[in-house]
Amino acid sequence: MNDEQQVLEESRERFIAQWGALGTQWGINRTMAQIHALLMTAVDPLSTDEVMEALQISRGNAHTNLKELVAWGLLRIVVRKGERREYFEAEKDVWKIFRIVARERKRREIEPALDVLHQCAAESEGMKSAPGREYHRQIRELEEFVHFASQVADKIGLLQHGTAVKLAAKLVG
């Protein structure tokens, strides 16, 4: 049993380390991903100091990333009665996590792209020259597609877990 605890600790540490490394690929920083991994697999909420201790990072780093995760909605702040300091607890429901990440990605990746495309489409509207018309056509196609993708993302974000699973199951066959 003591042995099991040992294996668990090691597995969890590897999970945190690797999830952190993955974070880099997803465009979020390593520490943020590590904190998320730490708290998703934590039994109880942790304080800033406990996070600092567990990941061996500075206060400023821990603080900034904890607050960023709270801003995303991936962590909640918990206050224990009679205690002054804040504790942090992770959202553990995978469908909720997915929706949050999807929403954030849409905001950071899709919406700014739409703005650019929209502006360029407007600027080249009604051009007469062949290169001008070709440019406008290409931008418009991109714009339409991204706009459409954006709407799809919105709708998926509104679905209940069950509904989404059924829909996806039909697709996967």
Partner DNA sequence: GCGAAATTTCAGAAATAAATGAAATAGATG
Partner DNA sequence: CATCTATTTCATTTATTTCTGAAATTTCGC
Give Cα 106 to chain centroid, integer Å: 10
Q: Is 41 in the site for DNA (CB under 7 A)?
A: no
What does the CA dihedral 20, 36, 9, 4 come to, rounded to 10 degrees? -120
Taking alpha carbons only, the member of 32, 35, 149, 158 closest to residue 95 is: 158
84 binds DNA (CB under 7 A): yes
Q: Which residue of 81, 131, 160, 162 would you call a contact of a second copy, by CB under 8 A?
A: 131
Residue 2 one-letter amino acid: N
Dist. CA 147–CA 115, nearest whole Å: 10
Number of residues that bind a second copy (CB under 8 A): 56
Nearer to DNA, 60 or 131 (CB): 60
Confirm or reject binding of residue 163 to a second copy (CB under 8 A). no
Q: Does 124 bind DNA (CB under 7 A)?
A: no
Choose which of 17, 50, 63, 157 interacts with DNA (CB under 7 A): 63
Asked if 79 touches a second copy (CB under 8 A), the answer is: no
Answer with the entry of DNA, a second copy, none that 114 interacts with (C-beta below 5 to 8 A by kind).
none
Residue spans of beta strands (DSSP E) within 43-91: 46-47, 75-79, 86-90
| CA–CA distances in Å: residue 58 to residues 6, 50, 67 | 26, 11, 14
Contact, 41 vs 80, CB < 8 A?
Answer: no
Provide the binding-site residues for a second copy, judged by CB under 8 A.
Answer: 1, 4-5, 7-8, 11-12, 14-15, 18-19, 22, 25-27, 40-41, 43, 92, 94-95, 98, 108-109, 112-113, 116, 119-120, 123-124, 127-129, 131-132, 134-135, 138-139, 141-142, 144-145, 148-149, 151-152, 155-156, 165, 167-168, 171-173
